[in-house]
Structure 1
Amino acid sequence: MLTIGAHMSIAKGIAKAAENVIKMQANTMQIFSRNPRGSSYKDYSRAEVDKFQTLRKDHEFGALLAHAPYTMNLASPRPETYEFACTVIQEDTARMDALGVENLVFHPGSHTGIGKEAGIRNIIAGLDQAITGDEKIYVLLETMTGKGTEIGDRFEELKAIREGAAHPERIGICLDTCHVFAAGYDIVHDLDGVLQEFDDILGLEHLKAIHLNDSMMPFGSHKDRHAVLGEGEIGMDALLAVVCHPVLSELPFYLETPLDDKGHAEEIKRIRERMGKTR
């Protein structure tokens, strides 16, 4: 069964977000673990959490994904920025684990001039503060475009982070189709080759989620601009090949395209129709 959803707003509560998933005829969702461009987060009441858990169980949701805020930079050399990032990843790993969210994804960060090796050491140290090894949740490193001093556009960098951490067994990978395309991995003409490279370096068993996005920017641009499925440089045929690929098809897919819930519902419907599948 195809597991697919979109990024959902939780401004009206996590149970309301789950209700909107059901209306969209999706079967999973991504949420922000807290304010995406700030530091605040909302504690849910027991009644809210119970309603959310009932909805996801009754409607057989697939693995859920929480996204850490964009303001978090675990690679930063600035003490105040790094301290904030360490606090966020520690708090949000625990909070999302307690909520029963299966995966928490974050952008590895930007080294802002200290170099990738030093930035990677900072990321590892931050993860070691957050992950005890007793969690059920996986913390996912997201594949990035490599803009500026960003870390994570090469599979080797993600491997260095994961294998350098004290608890690599709780760390996985989220592959973003827009990001890897912009980073120079040719998923349009050589998907099998990209997946083989991923397997050789990281191991496909560590791939836990896929952000399904088209790209406004051309191949190898190192620019992060998501496009509606089929309206970008990747194209619908190549994205469907990702969804249908035998080593990827059982993974959960999450849309981060620039659309509202209605638009995402139409994208999901179109994907299912093209696949010849229903929920």
Structure 2
Amino acid sequence: MLLQEALRSGQFAITAEVTPPRGGDAARALGVAASLKGLVHAINVTDGSRAVMRMSSLAVCKLLLEAGIEPVWQLTCRDRNRIALQADLLGAHALGIRNLLCLTGDPVRAGDQPSARPVNELEAVRLLELVSAFNRGEDPVKDTLPDGPTALFAGTAADPQSRSWSGLKRRLERKQAAGARFIQTQMVMDTGALERFCDQIARPFGLPVLAGVFLLKSARNAAFINRVVPGASIPQDVIDRLQGASDPAAEGIAIAAEQVRAYRTIAQGVHLMAIKAEERIPAILQAAGLPPLIEPAVVR
């Protein structure tokens, strides 16, 4: 698996994010992913992000595998009880999906069906514990799994710009103890905050960090994100830069590329998010000076 090998060997790892369709045709998501093949180590597939109805992330991950593209399956606890989570984890393993990002999930009230009933029996830490138990071959009821342990590679999310530094450290410590193997951060605009997070929290816990880089499309887009996305903190000088640009789309690409270059010396990788503009990700990587990937040699 490309992502696991990159993180294990200390390579600079690159992931990008696609959103499943709001419908039964995954052609666009697959097309976006295909355009990134050979440029990123793996493609994240979001799971009910912002509590909005989308195609199953597990289904899209399987379609990516069939297309020869390595997925990172995002799995949230909001809509599933423990039995459903257990079933999906075992099913994902049977389908050949190995990379997993364990998330609690956005609250239902954030979405377009606020009267839906959330489950939230588990949260990210307990989901990581469940994954680790399966990887040890443990059955939650009958001692051991009859066909042996799973081999799921579980990661977690974190916000380096969290206002509660001590709370962030305590929660990440719990996630590491529960079995997290890597971190993908939320959008981070403060290089100093990212450096402090990597040096003082992530590295002491032995967790490689993929820093979140978000493609901004315009000043209006940036202001909207600051207003509606919890924890978002896009600096005013970045918004002013987009406002004054003759081509805001190109300026957004330039800003994202600058972040990628800066984060190369701080984190072990980047996670690129370009909602509804994923086709611009290759331009970001090119502007950042990142060449196409060379697949690691297989050790036999």
Q: Under a length normalisation based on structure 2, what TM-score does the superposition of the two structures give?
A: 0.55
Does structure 1 residue 97 correspond to structure 2 residue 114? no
Aligned residue in 1 for 2:73: 66
Aligned counterparts, 1:191-230, within 5 A: 191-205=194-208, 207=209, 209-213=210-214, 216=222, 223-225=230-232
Task: Give 3-state SS (helix, strand or coil) of 2:291's partner.
Answer: coil
Counterpart of 2:67 in structure 1 is 55
Query: Could you tell me how far 1:85 is from its partner in structure 2?
Result: 4.2
Counterpart CA distance in 2 for 1:34 and 1:90 is 18
Q: Secondary structure at the match of 1:141?
A: strand
Cα distance in structure 2, aligned partners of 1:204 and 1:110: 24
The corresponding residue for 2:246 is none
Distance 1:152 1:31 in 2: 30
1:22 shift after superposition: 1.8
Describe the SS at the equivalent of 2:200: helix
- Tell me, in whole angstroms, the C-alpha distance in 1 between the residues paired with 2:125 and 2:13: 33
Distance 2:182 2:58 in 1: 27
Give the 3 Å change call, closer, same or farther, for CA 92–146 of structure 1 in structure 2: farther
Equivalent position amino acid for 2:280 in 1: E
Deviations 1:22-51, CA, capped at 9 Å, x for gaps = 23565432213578646984886xxx95x7
Q: Which runs of 5+ in 1 are unaligned?
A: 74-80, 112-118, 182-186
Cα distance, 1:154 vs. partner?
0.8
Equivalent position SS for 1:106 = strand
- Asked if the contact 1:6/1:256 (under 8 Å) is kept, the reply is yes
- Secondary structure of the structure 1 residue equivalent to 2:134: coil
Give the letter for the 1:55 counterpart.
Answer: A
1:255 corresponds to 2:275: no
Q: 1:142 Cα deviation (Å)?
A: 0.9
SS of match in other structure, 1:204: coil
Partner of 1:237 in structure 2? Answer: 258
Alignment of 1:1-279 (within 5 A): 3-9=14-20, 11-12=23-24, 17-24=29-36, 26-27=39-40, 28-32=42-46, 37=52, 41=56, 52-56=64-68, 61=69, 63-69=70-76, 72-73=77-78, 84-108=80-104, 124-130=125-131, 131-133=133-135, 134-144=149-159, 154-163=168-177, 165=178, 168=179, 171-178=180-187, 187-189=190-192, 191-205=194-208, 207=209, 209-213=210-214, 216=222, 223-225=230-232, 231=252, 236-242=257-263, 244-245=264-265, 248-249=268-269, 253-257=270-274, 259-260=275-276, 263-275=277-289, 277-278=291-292
Instruction: Work out whether residues 18 and 52 of structure 1, in 8 Å CA contact, stay in contact via their aligned partners in 2.
Output: yes
SS at match of 2:101: strand
Q: Which residue of 1 aligns with 2:117?
A: none
Amino acid at match of 2:265: H
Provide the secondary structure at the position in 2 that maps to 1:266: helix
Structure 1 residue 157: Cα displacement:
1.0
Q: Distance in 2 between matches of 1:157 and 1:241?
A: 26
- Are the structure 2 counterparts of residues 129 and 15 from structure 1 closer, same or farther at C-alpha, using a change threshold of 3 Å? same
- 2:215 and 2:14 mapped to 1: Cα distance? 18
Closer, same or farther in 2 for the Cα pair 1:138/1:42, shift >3 Å? closer
> Using a 3 Å threshold, how does the CA distance of structure 1 residues 13 and 175 change in structure 2: closer, same or farther?
same
- Mapped partners of 1:275, 1:43: distance in 2: 32
- Displacement of 1:2: 6.4
CA contact 1:155–1:202 (8 Å) conserved in 2: no
> Structure 1 residues 99, 106: closer, same or farther in 2, change over 3 A?
same
SS in 1 for 2:16: strand
Contact 1:211 1:254 in 2 (8 A): yes
Q: Deviations over 1:226-257 (max 9, x none)?
A: 9899659x865234311x237514xxx44333
Cα offset, 1:145, TM superposition: 7.4
8 Å Cα contact 1:66-1:101 kept in structure 2: yes
**Alpha-carbon deviations, 1:187-208, whole Å to 9, x = none?**
4236443321134442135x4x
- Counterpart secondary structure, 1:68: strand
Q: How many residues align?
A: 229
In structure 2, C-alpha distance between the alignment counterparts of 1:21 and 1:109, rounded to whole Å:
23
CA RMSD of aligned residues (A): 4.8
Counterparts of 1:200 and 1:53 in 2: how far apart (Å)? 31
Q: Counterparts of 2:213 and 2:25 in 1: how far apart (Å)?
A: 24
Cα gap change, 1:93 to 1:32, in 2 (>3 Å): farther
Unaligned runs of 5+ in 2: 1-11, 108-119, 136-148, 217-221, 235-248, 294-300
CA distance in 2, matches of 1:43, 1:122: 19
